A and B are shown apart, each in its own frame.
Chain A
């Protein structure tokens, strides 16, 4: 129990740092000095002290949505199989996790529609569209171990054999990660142009401590996705041994963000299609390879 708590707390503490490092790294790669890696902590502290504004006449949904999103992110952090045995992870499996992430998305999209803003509505529409396309790839990329009869828990990710099937699953999940963490080429966290926003558009009407909650939830989710992606790569059964992979992934995402431009909105589904095909191929290889 204490170990589990330590896991959640360390993810919660490190998540803003990871965001700061990625931002700094990206700036440096682009030839800019960039902000300090600690800047996200300062931003969160600043936002927490500011008052929150909401549009006139909204329902209670925009009020509670940030809390739901944050709760989903913390639950996500608690089910990762970093410490073993993980009491939360033995209850919440991969499928339940996918549904859980859907809950956060649902709450935020409803909140966005309630604000009456066309930008928020547009972002909600795109987020739900892409979210539904990502889900099959997300599930199939993670279910590689499950189809071999190992069960659907996240801890079984650790001892799934790697090989070609593992590589394909990782490739699929990497694309999912880019989408779920609102990264170029799918989305752009640093955009200031409302018409191209997806995730930033969803939270456009939020401010103050509510925005802080949403941003913090985003950082935690991002780190969780990075950890999960690292677990798809070969490594020991102990979660912390994946640390080098996590650092490598931070670098990889930043390099992708620097080298690629944001895709046109309606070319993004092709990327998800690719991820989906990778994931299906990986499952096919695992099952049929196991049969032969």
Chain B
């Protein structure tokens, strides 16, 4: 009952989001006012409106909510759908908020509801800690967003976004930069940009799969939307260093995210690190767009922003697909530890092929959607290399190299994920009878997302044309997309596909004989199968200067000195950023202890504080 109610609520939100998206895509102007709730204080007026820029985000929200609702019909706990519906509604509210007060209210609602989602299994201590970390980051970030919006509103003397945007050109450079830094801190921490990403790999493994799909697929994107609104509209036009900074931060996030994903063997945490990576790729696109805009080359700006928006949608699709697939794996096996999984291809007969599509898509290989948007991002980077002095060249070449490295490392990582989880033999400790998956609502959800990954990959124009319209309306220019794009993915995979079919035909004509794996004559055992830790070993060693792996080998000797009975091997990476965050937290706590005096614990005292705060506010507001 609870489940059905939640699913119905999710579907209603999805329909609403789709409607908003359609209005946004079809709009000609910059803003279609929908509703304004005037308060007694004009500064707190709540303005709802639809803009072209929010349309792609609303469309993504609609698609993901539908898919997750489908998945929730079959899997996950019954209470989840209702909470997710609320979460989605809050995100939609952020996207239609066009005044500072409403935006902040929606932003906070989104943060708090998502905290409840993360805390779904709050009976476990680790979950409570992860939720606390998330809340601290979310609230600090929200504070930064509040500062940025307040500064803008004060300067403009108006809290509506339209008013702020109208005043944007008259901002002083110092104020503009301050706003940018606060917006970057606030939105960047929510989006999971390095080095403020550390909450992500903590929150995702403990949140239910459906919640992870929404958090990673949609909420990170809403944060990017916030960044776009501030940089393209409210505080535009920015100086060129904004774009450069974003390209640099994006590259660091992309490479760093994928490196940590590579050595992680918790499937959901690994996917969380890949979110850091992909947000990095999106931010590279945004950075190029800002830089090109400040340099006056509008064609490049349009292309880069289309690439960023396209990758935003694509990442939402395949990341939700992968998280839902991971949820199914968790349901079936009771674990997402890569060292305990394997051979699920034969059991999850539906989820496995769709999960493979997700893996190939997120790696950016043709003909899936990730390829089209990463290719566009590369194009925009190459187009901008020689456009503005040595610093720009240096950063852009680093970004091209970083993006290429990221692509290769992501491929390595997803070969590991798919090869270890779905292929080969199972590594589970306790044998259980094999179950063959049936096609149901949860597999339909993954199939739906996988289908979209294929369609948007093979026919990228389906997404690129509307996105080009959005970018054109937002930036006031005509976007020219590369001529080759519509036919490129199909051209690339035509012959490989033909080759695959040739193999199938050959196998049908001349039977393939099945034999035991060659193991140099020794018996075939599961223990000989390559594990995830073993697979990532070369890259762990090569990137030891970033990952700082520490290993532990323990021998348990038997009767002979030379033949140990048991060898245990453990390896762990040191997370520099996390350690830094912990030190910072310790400093803050030490500082906070000085204010303990005011925490008397007496209720009357707290009431007095509240009254004093009220009096001060009223006095200031007059």
Contacts and interface: CB of A to CB of B under 8 A. Distances in A.
B423 A55 contact: no
B604 interface: no
A109 B417 CA distance: 12
Contacts of A143: 382, 400
Interface of A: 51-59, 61, 63-64, 66-72, 74-75, 78, 88, 90-93, 95-96, 98-100, 102-107, 109-110, 113-118, 120-122, 124-126, 128-136, 138-140, 143, 146-149, 152, 194, 204-205, 209-210, 213, 265-266, 269, 276, 280, 283-284, 287-288, 290-291
Contacts of A110: 415, 418-419, 423
Instruction: Among B401, B412, B498, B528, find the residue whose CB has the most chain A CB atoms closer than 10 A.
Output: B412
8 contacts: A56-B515, A63-B512, A95-B378, A102-B363, A125-B534, A125-B537, A129-B542, A205-B518
A291 B524 CA distance: 62
B234 to A, nearest CB: 33
A100 B411 CA distance: 12
Contacts of A280: 397, 401
Interface residues of B, number: 85
A98 B511 CA distance: 34
A97 to B, nearest CB: 9
Interface of B: 343, 345-346, 352, 360, 363-366, 371, 374-375, 378-379, 382, 385-386, 389-390, 393-394, 397, 400-402, 404-405, 407-409, 411-412, 414-416, 418-420, 422-425, 484, 487-488, 491-504, 506-507, 510-520, 524, 526, 528-530, 534-539, 541-542
Nearest to A64: B500
B499 A291 contact: no
A57 B389 CA distance: 57
A114 B423 contact: yes
Given A64-B503, A276-B401, A288 B393 contact: yes
Contact of B487 (A66, A91, A109, A125): A91
Given A152-B379, A287-B386, A106 B365 contact: yes
A53 B515 contact: yes
A91 B491 contact: yes
Instruction: Among A96, A132, A149, find the residue whose CB has the most chain B CB atoms closer than 10 A.
Output: A132
A216 to B, nearest CB: 11
A143 B418 CA distance: 32
A147 B511 CA distance: 51
A283 B397 CA distance: 8
A114 B416 CA distance: 11
A59 B401 contact: no
A100 B492 contact: yes
Given A70-B499, A125-B536, A132-B409, A266 B363 contact: no
A102 B495 CA distance: 15
A67 B535 contact: no
Nearest to A121: B530
Contact of A53 (B500, B514, B542): B514
Contact of A95 (B379, B401, B412): B379
